[in-house]
Amino acid sequence: MSNLQKVIVFGASGFLGEHIIKSLISENWDVYAAVRTKPESSTDGFNQTQVTYYEGDLEDQKYIQDAIAGMDAIIFSAGCTWKSDLEISEYYRRNVQITKNFFTALGDRPNVRIVYTSSMSVIAGSKSDYIFFEDSDRSQVSQNQLSPYDLAKIECEQIALDYAQRGNNLVILNPGNMLGPGVFNHSKITTSILVLWFCQKQFPFYINGGHSYCDVRDVAKAHVAALTRGRSGERYIVAGDNLDMASISSLLVKMTGFKMPQQLPASGVYLLSLLLESLSLLSFRLFKNPYHPDFVKSFALHYYANSQKAIKELAYNITPIETTLIDTIKYFGKRELLSEDLNFFALMTHSNIQSLIYLRQLASQHTFSQFLLSKISQIYGICQSNLSLNNVLDNLVNHSKFNIKTGKFQPDKTKCQEDLKSINQLFEYLYFASNDFLSEVI
């Protein structure tokens, strides 16, 4: 933008909010951030001297009124997504109540552009793989299976729509399930928790519902675009790849070499959650049920979407899901949150991930596995720098079948025998030339 304009972001310390702040700075807006507590400084994020922070509570209307005074635009991305064992009533308080409070404090301001962050929960939620558009009716939505979060967001968006219908200048964005890295090395982990659990081997089973997975960085840029390009009173779906849990899990298996989680029937998991909820009540909440039945019943739903309207009017971009997942895993690696099996995370790219996990598989099967597994990055570097070994590794990948259930490569032994022998010889050479071996024999 040629002239700086003042914009304030509510929910600026959240997963999406931090990325919105970063995008606003890159577009030369005069940026203000409404937060409960100012985040710590970090070299991984943006220069915080470029942001003016307002610390306060969204339940305090005077705080809101003081924060928005003199602003040309407002982005409201505050709210609460699913959290393990969070009380059901909190989804109303942390979404509906703060939305009501915000718009009450805001009052009618037709000259101020408001961009409101809603959710695909407001539009979708089908038992089938039906794809929803902005103007889809709700006949395909399974109303009785919607979660407390879904119901809260529906009420929130209606509050925003009522505000627009009074003649105020408001645009609504409906993101899909956002994945991606955080802005800071201490950013909150919200919708990317699925990827983290998988990479920590804490995702043993799934219910095969589905979401439209998108990159949080793309969604943030769409919010900035909506400030100037969005049509008042309109909603825009900003989603991505429509994938069921089996498909997203398969992608993660290919990127990690971890075992495919087990698919369980929705009805069985729902009954189990009812039992756990009963135990929680009997223990006077000393035992907390991590999966409330009101959420479990929504796990089998599909929140699929089409983003063509946002692509056309907001120049919305959809990053390939593989790129988003790799960047998410790398971010968790920088925060030292990954399983030790992914110690090569920093090298991960689209082109080399299969080679890396194949090397790890072969190293884990070797006599000197304890020595080799910690050195996958170095071993891969040696293969890359040696034409013969590089060809060996490529040949192994090209002539092996990857088993999604086990997360393992199955080599065609008629074509791979000599290549396997070459890799084993490399492993033995590295071990016998190492200080580990020398310390044993001297």
For position 287, what pLDDT does the model report? Answer: 83
Decide: 126 and 240 in contact? Cβ < 8 Å.
no
Closest CA to 353 of 254, 240, 438: 254
β pairing state of 408-411 and 400-403: antiparallel
Angle at 212 between CA 245 and CA 29, to 5 degrees: 140
Find all residues with CB under 8 Å of 422, minimum gap 6, and list them. Answer: 388, 389, 392
For position 1, what pLDDT does the model report? Answer: 39
For position 230, what pLDDT does the model report? Answer: 96
- Dihedral Cα 264, 265, 271, 272, nearest 10 deg: 0
Task: Please report the sign of the dihedral spanned by the C-alpha atoms of residue 298, residue 248, residue 129, residue 95.
Answer: positive
Assigned fold of 6-188+214-238+304-319: Rossmann fold (3.40.50)
36-50, 144-158, 316-330, 376-390: least confident range = 36-50
For position 3, what pLDDT does the model report? Answer: 57
Listed as own residue / partner, the contacts of 379-382 with beta carbons closer than 8 Å and 24 or more positions apart are 379/426, 379/427, 379/430, 380/344, 380/347, 380/352, 380/355, 380/356, 382/426, 382/430
Cα–Cα distance measured from residue 91 to residue 4, given in angstroms and rounded to the nearest whole number: 36
In the predicted model, what is the mean pLDDT of residues 216-230?
Answer: 98
Cα–Cα distance measured from residue 134 to residue 120, given in angstroms and rounded to the nearest whole number: 10
Decide: 242 and 129 in contact? Cβ < 8 Å.
yes
For position 185, what pLDDT does the model report? Answer: 82
Please give the DSSP secondary-structure letter assigned to residue 212.
Answer: E
Mind listing the pLDDT tens digit for each residue in 56-99? 999 999 999 999 999 999 999 999 888 877 888 889 999 999 99
Closest CA to 353 of 433, 219, 256, 243: 256
Mind listing the pLDDT tens digit for each residue in 235-258? 999 999 999 999 999 999 999 999
Strand-pairing partners, residue 408, are: 403
Mind listing the pLDDT tens digit for each residue in 409-418? 999 989 999 9
The pTM of this model reads 0.94
Mind listing the pLDDT tens digit for each residue in 27-52? 999 999 999 888 776 656 677 778 99
Strand-pairing partners, residue 409, are: 402
Decide: 303 and 124 in contact? Cβ < 8 Å.
yes
In the predicted model, what is the mean pLDDT of residues 124-138?
Answer: 96
What is the number of residues in the chain?
Answer: 442
Count CB atoms within 10 A of the CB of residue 340. Answer: 7
The structural domains of the chain, with segments of one domain joined by +, span 6-188+214-238+304-319, 343-441
Q: Name the CA radius of gyration of the chain, rounded.
A: 25
The average confidence (pLDDT) of the chain is 93
Closest CA to 379 of 393, 394, 391: 393
Please give the DSSP secondary-structure letter assigned to residue 230.
Answer: S
Pick the more confident residue, 357 or 41. 357
